[in-house]
């Protein structure tokens, strides 16, 4: 049995009753949001960030615009690892961004390695959850383009398969469907 003490918004200490070891879990952010900027940055995500901020929820906000093929910045990976709640805003063009798919893969890695220190909340913004889950519609088209682009690169073809699995895994989590709203 363990006892949990919340010291601040971002640091909690867990003291197991069986022994005197102190285990520290540090979350630098309460929330990390993965989203396709061109789809939702200047509307839904801005409102989401505003609402979270008003409630004193610490958010990692990535304001950078990235070029195609650019590697994910280490600070972004650390922000994913250091966030308590991982929100994924699936939109029509989410899967067309390799950057978004890399973020999603990292989110799934964190969830799979987590000892329930992270949770994921999917939001389906103007896209059907089944399209995300099954990679149909715009998601099928995006993956067709990725496969064509990387067909000669075996390592990337393996990565594409991991992205598909990550989409399915996160889309199977109960979330919010904001389609046509």
pLDDT (tens digit, 9 = 90+) per residue, 22-64? 444 567 899 999 999 888 988 899 999 999 999 999 998 776 5
Interval 106-115 mean pLDDT: 82
Adjacent-strand bridge partners of 2: 16
Instruction: Give the whole-angstrom CA distance, residue 139 versus residue 137.
Output: 5
Percent of the chain, pLDDT > 90? 59
pLDDT digits (tens, 9 = 90+) for 126-157: 999 999 999 999 999 999 999 999 999 999 99
The pLDDT value recorded for residue 179 is 74
Give the pTM.
0.79
Angstrom distances, CA of residue 177 to CA of 46, 130, 138, 153, 169: 18, 11, 17, 35, 16
Q: Tell me the domain boundaries of the chain.
A: 29-177
Using one digit for the tens of pLDDT, what is the confidence trace for 70-103? 566 777 888 898 899 999 999 999 999 998 999 9
What's the CATH code, domain 29-177?
3.40.50.10140
Catalytically annotated residues: 103
């Amino acid at each position: 049995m363990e006892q949990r003490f919340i010291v601040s918004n971002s640091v909690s200490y867990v003291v197991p009753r069986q022994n005197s070891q102190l285990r520290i879990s540090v979350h630098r952010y309460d929330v990390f949001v993965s989203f396709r900027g061109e789809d939702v940055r200047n509307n839904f995500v801005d409102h989401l960030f505003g609402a979270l901020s008003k409630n004193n929820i610490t958010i990692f906000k990535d304001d950078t615009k990235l070029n195609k093929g650019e590697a994910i910045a280490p600070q972004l990976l650390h922000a994913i690892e250091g966030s308590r709640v991982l929100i994924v805003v699936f939109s029509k063009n989410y899967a067309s961004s390799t950057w978004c798919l890399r973020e999603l893969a990292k989110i799934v890695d964190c969830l799979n390695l987590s000892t329930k220190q992270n949770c994921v909340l999917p939001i389906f913004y103007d896209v059907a959850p089944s399209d995300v889950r099954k990679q149909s519609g715009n998601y099928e088209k995006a993956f067709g383009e990725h496969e064509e682009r990387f067909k000669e690169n075996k390592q990337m073809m393996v990565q594409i398969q991991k992205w598909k699995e990550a989409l399915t895994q996160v889309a199977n989590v109960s979330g919010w469907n904001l389609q046509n709203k």
